[in-house]
Structure 1
Amino acid sequence: MKFSLLVAIVPEDLEQECIDAATKAGAVGMTLMSGRGIGGERKKTFFGLTFEGSQSIMLLTLEKGLSLKVLKAIRQILNPSGEDSKGLVMTLPVEHLGGIDMAQVKRFEERLRHDS
């Protein structure tokens, strides 16, 4: 079985909606981290204070075939109109993997059989 790492960088206010979309698409677990980014646009200021929006970084180890389905579900939340996106989502191939819960592997296998 091949795996992918899905990385999603989402605004904090969309975090729960993205979690729900990923879970509905078949993700069974994820790691969440807080972060902040530096974009190409100037930061907004309010009375001389710089506003930096908080972001959530979602890391999901997924069976390779499932990763595209989850990516598309999160992308629908981040970019519903097809124009300006509110975040970033990508997958990366996983060459070596250790420590994954075997119950999670069995759930991936069940989903693959169910989707076939």
Structure 2
Amino acid sequence: MAVRQQLPAKLYYRIGEVAGIVGVEPHVLRYWETEFRSIRPQKSAKGQRVYSRRDVETLLKVKELLYSHRFTIAGARRKLREGGIEPPPPDAGVSSEEAQRMRAALVEIRSEVLALMDELDRV
């Protein structure tokens, strides 16, 4: 069972503080941001990441799932989604037939652009 630690009573935490609280290096936090849509720190006026209390709690849960329960990234994402923490993946709303038509149109446009470029090279 994971030990619940008491978070300092603050609204926002810097990446170094969060790394210390969670017990991982800052680069791991940055990587997890790319893998979990629920972790979205704000940027300060100086461009530094500032994490909310909710972000820190989510990061602690991610660490527990990955390190203690040995989940994969995808498994941890799915578990967080089941718990209502991780939002569902974005849906482009495009059918496979529509995607195929779009690809064909792009191929045609590309060939037209290449033909025009060849024509311009001859001028």
Identify the TM-score tier after normalising by the shorter chain.
under 0.3
User: Greater relative contact order (Cα 8 A, min sep 6): structure 1 or 2?
Assistant: 1
More strand by percentage: 1
Q: Structure 2 length normalisation: TM-score?
A: 0.26
Q: Structure 1 length normalisation: TM-score?
A: 0.27
